[in-house]
Amino acid sequence: MSASLYEPVNVYKPQGPDIGVVDGPFEYLTVAGIKLPLPFTTRMTVVRLSNGDLFLHSPIKFASTVAEELRNLGRIRHLVSPNQFHYAHIGEWSKAFPAATTWASPRVRQRARARHADLTFARDLEADPPEEWRRDIDQTLFPGGYFKEFIFFHQTSKTLILTDTIINLELDMVDEPWRTVTKLTRMAYPHGRTFFGMRLPIFLHRRKAQAVINKLQSWQPRRVIISHGRCFDANEDEIVRRIFGKPA
Q: How far is the CB of 226 from Fe ion (least distance, A)?
A: 9
Q: How far is the CB of 68 from Fe ion (least distance, A)?
A: 26
What is the per-residue DSSP string for 134-175?
TTTEEEEEE--GGG-EEEEEETTTTEEE-SSSEEBB-GGG--
C-alpha dihedral (234, 235, 237, 239), degrees to nearest 10: -80
Of 181 and 211, nearer to Fe ion (C-beta) is 181
Of 53 and 164, nearer to Fe ion (C-beta) is 164
Of 48 and 86, nearer to Fe ion (C-beta) is 86
Of 143 and 229, nearer to Fe ion (C-beta) is 229
Q: Is 23 in the site for Fe ion (CB under 5 A)?
A: no
Contact call for residues 75 and 40 (beta carbons, < 8 A) = no
Give the gyration radius of the chain's Cα atoms: 17
Q: How far is the CB of 86 from Fe ion (least distance, A)?
A: 6
Q: Which residues pair with 139 in a beta bridge?
A: 152
User: Residue 231: which of 142, 139, 175, 166 has the closest Cα?
Assistant: 166
Per-residue x/- track, 93-132, Fe ion (CB under 5 A)? ----------------------------------------
Q: Name residues whose C-beta falls within 8 Å of residue 46's C-beta, 6 or more positions apart in sequence.
A: 12, 19, 20, 21, 22, 54, 55, 56, 57, 70, 73
Q: How far is the CB of 147 from Fe ion (least distance, A)?
A: 9
Q: How far is the CB of 67 from Fe ion (least distance, A)?
A: 22
Q: Which residues pair with 229 in a beta bridge?
A: 168
Of 49 and 80, nearer to Fe ion (C-beta) is 80
Of 83 and 102, nearer to Fe ion (C-beta) is 83
Give me the residue whose beta carbon is nearest to Fe ion.
164
Range 151-210, binding Fe ion (CB under 5 A): 164
Residues of this chain that bind Fe ion (CB under 5 A): 164
